[in-house]
Amino acid sequence: MSFNIIDTGFEGLKIIETKRFKDHRGYFFESFSKKNLSESGLDFDFIQDNVSSSKKGVLRGLHYQLNPMAQSKLLTVLSGRIMDIAVDIRKKSPTFGKYFSMEISSDDNWMIFIPKGFAHGFAAFTDETVILYKCDNYYSPEHERGIIYNDPDLKIDWKVSYNDFIIAKRDLSFPAFSEAENNFIYEE
């Protein structure tokens, strides 16, 4: 098995440790194997890959898509270092309104699986930060929603001063968590 699946304390949100093979040439790792992930309990049909490139100080998020176009994501940092944030927006969830954060870089062996029902964002700590997302649903602009990154109720610690962020106007226009449109219900 080429993956070690680690529970985060948030139902469905998983850290995935890959096995990296390093030598004098560089490294090799298997970033995706449907068979191995399925055997580990993560059985999803990823149908779209997205790549984002960001310079140091860029904050993207907090993004999600409403049902029926919600997306689960498998995220890998190909270059650079980020603070990754996933906010549980599933009503009735034991972790509703709480966030999970993790620093991930291209130098480590970590990936993160973010299931449907989470808003997602990240802050880039390095120039030329490149992230690959595998998604199990297509991008749908009419279903896209977001939550403001500095929501006072969420109290997210981005590990960077708010004054240092480079943020898109669209992301700055997102509503507070309590006002964001949301059609996710947690089911045990």
CA dist list (Å): 147 to 60, 78, 170? 11, 26, 11
For the stretch 55-78, pLDDT in tens is: 999 999 999 999 999 999 999 999
Q: What is the DSSP code (8-state) at residue 69? A: S
* Full set of structural domains in the chain with CATH: 3-178 (2.60.120.10)
Q: Other CB atoms closer than 10 Å to residue 142's CB: what's the count? A: 7
129 within 8 A of 56, measured Cβ to Cβ: yes
At residue 35, the pLDDT reads 74
Residue 36: which region, alpha, beta or left (left: phi > 0; alpha: psi -120 to 50)?
alpha
Identify the band that residue 166 occupies on the pLDDT scale cut at 50, 70 and 90: very high
What amino acid positions are annotated as catalytic residues? 63, 133
Q: Find the helix or strand (DSSP H, E) in which 28 lies.
A: strand 26-29
- The pLDDT tens digits of the residues spanning 136-155 come to 999 999 999 999 999 999 99
User: How high is the pLDDT of residue 179?
Assistant: 98
- Residue 152 CA to residue 186 CA, distance in Å, equals 23
DSSP 137: S
Dist CA 178 CA 35 (whole Å) = 39
Q: What's the rounded Cα separation, in Å, for the pair 154 and 177?
A: 8
Helix, strand, coil percentages, rounded to 5, for the chain:
10, 45, 45
pLDDT digits (tens, 9 = 90+) for 29-53: 777 777 777 777 777 889 999 999 9
Local confidence band at 133 (pLDDT 50, 70, 90 cut-offs):
very high
- What is the model's pLDDT at position 142? 98
- CA triple 173-176-180, angle to 5 deg: 90
